[in-house]
Structure 1
Amino acid sequence: MTQGKLLRIIGYYRDPGFLERVMGTLRKLWVDVEWVNARKVNDEGMYEIYMEVKEGKNTQLAILNLSKTVDVERVEVLEEGKVITYSFNNKGEPSDNPNEERMIVYVPVYSKVTGYSWGESYSKDIHG
């Protein structure tokens, strides 16, 4: 299990301000970000941001505010989850050597999603 909340944020990257708005909305309420992974989903500019944020008294409010942010389609809390870590060196080979330059990728594994879009919430189980 994680120490914080795992989030998936779906939104449109029209300019670099998209990432700034996401991070700024969290930092405005003193919510710390542990890690971030992002990827482009389609040619229309839709991006998926995965992150882990520390749990705190303002975390839920920050998630609701984020769901109402410009260019954010929805924010999903990935519940009952854990994070699997993969580490690769600059040759693309798996590596756990701390003396080697490497990229670490965090992959959330979860079984329930609670989503927020413009303040409205929904929930779904992933069991299938």
Structure 2
Amino acid sequence: MTQGKVVRVYGYYRDPGFLERVMGALRKLWVDVEWIQARRVNDDGLYEVLMELKETKNTYLAILNLSKMVDVDRVEILEDAKVISHSFDNTGNPSQSDSNDGRVIIIYVPVFSKVTGYSWGESYSKDIR
């Protein structure tokens, strides 16, 4: 079980400042990020950013502010997420080590069944089961 909220942000990567603006919106309200990973979803420049946020009194407000940013399409909270980590060494083989020495990459995969999403401050919810 996670100690914070697992959040998925969909946004358009128009310039290298996209990730900086996402992190800046969180840090402005003193919300810490445990881990973050991003991937390209399609050729139109849509990216998915997954992260785990520490639970603070400002976390909900930071998520709402994030959903109102210009390049952000929507923000989703993965409500009941359990995070599974997979480690790989520098040759791509599975690794038993979770060290952070630069020779091992750790991929976090959330498993969830309920999503609460926000787009421009409007919320929606859906069960995935």
TM-score (norm 2): 0.95
Q: Distance in 1 between matches of 2:121 and 2:74?
A: 9
Q: Displacement of 1:70 after TM fit?
A: 1.3
User: Equivalent residue for 1:107?
Assistant: 109
SS in 2 for 1:80: coil
One-letter amino acid of the structure 2 residue matched with residue 96 of structure 1: Q
User: Equivalent residue for 2:19?
Assistant: 19
Q: Deviations over 1:42-79 (max 9, x none)?
A: 11100000000000000000000000011000000001
What does 1:1-128 align with in structure 2 at a 5 Å threshold? Answer: 1-97=1-97, 98=99, 101-127=103-129
Q: Distance in 1 between matches of 2:81 and 2:102?
A: 29
Q: Deviations over 1:13-47 (max 9, x none)?
A: 00011111100000000000000110001111000
Q: How many residues align?
A: 127
CA RMSD of aligned residues (A): 1.1
SS in 2 for 1:56: coil
One-letter amino acid of the structure 2 residue matched with residue 121 of structure 1: S
Structure 1 unaligned spans of 5+ = none
